[in-house]
């Protein structure tokens, strides 16, 4: 019986660790809260709340010699963005995603790399999204 209980506790611990906690995506780590799922596709990590009420994507990549302003202009054009605003050395803009839902994008960079974060459903999970963004650590 002790083995069965120990096996069940171990399985629960491993399941919890697989779905919540700090995850490593190569160039950065981020804390993915319980109830959210993260998947990497190339340089972009999609993090989705399991009930699909909120999501975000984080892309970290080389600027390939472009300035952050040039990248901001290119992303606004490619993503049909609007209301591009400079905030210090960073930029924000709004866009409508492929599902017709409004999203907010944040772009910053330094040392030849940029980070683009696109958030959808902020109003549905503001605390969780803020915690995810605040946990982002470049490696």
| Positions in the chain whose pLDDT score sits under 70 | 1-20
Could you give the CA distance from residue 12 to residue 49 in angstroms, rounded to a whole number? 21
pLDDT the model gives residue 138: 87
Task: Using DSSP bridges, classify how beta strands 36-41 and 137-138 pair: parallel, antiparallel or unpaired.
Answer: unpaired
Which three-class secondary structure state does DSSP give residue 29?
strand
pLDDT the model gives residue 21: 86
Laid out side by side, the sheet with 90-96 consists of 36-41, 44-49, 55-62, 113-120, 102-110, 90-96, 82-87
pLDDT the model gives residue 8: 32
pLDDT the model gives residue 20: 67
């Amino acid at each position: 019986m002790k083995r069965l209980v120990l096996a069940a506790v171990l399985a629960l611990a491993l399941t919890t660790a697989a779905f919540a906690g700090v995850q490593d995506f190569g160039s950065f780590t981020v804390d993915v809260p319980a109830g959210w799922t993260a998947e990497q596709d190339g340089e972009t990590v999609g993090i989705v709340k399991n009930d699909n009420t909120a999501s975000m994507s984080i892309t970290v990549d080389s600027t390939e010699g472009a300035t952050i302003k040039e990248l901001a202009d290119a992303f606004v054009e490619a993503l049909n963005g609007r209301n591009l605003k400079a905030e210090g050395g960073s930029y924000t803009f709004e866009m409508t995603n492929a599902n017709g839902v409004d999203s907010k994008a944040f772009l910053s960079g330094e040392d030849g790399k940029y980070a683009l974060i696109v958030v959808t459903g902020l109003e549905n999970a503001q605390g969780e999204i803020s915690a995810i963004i605040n946990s982002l650590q470049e490696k």
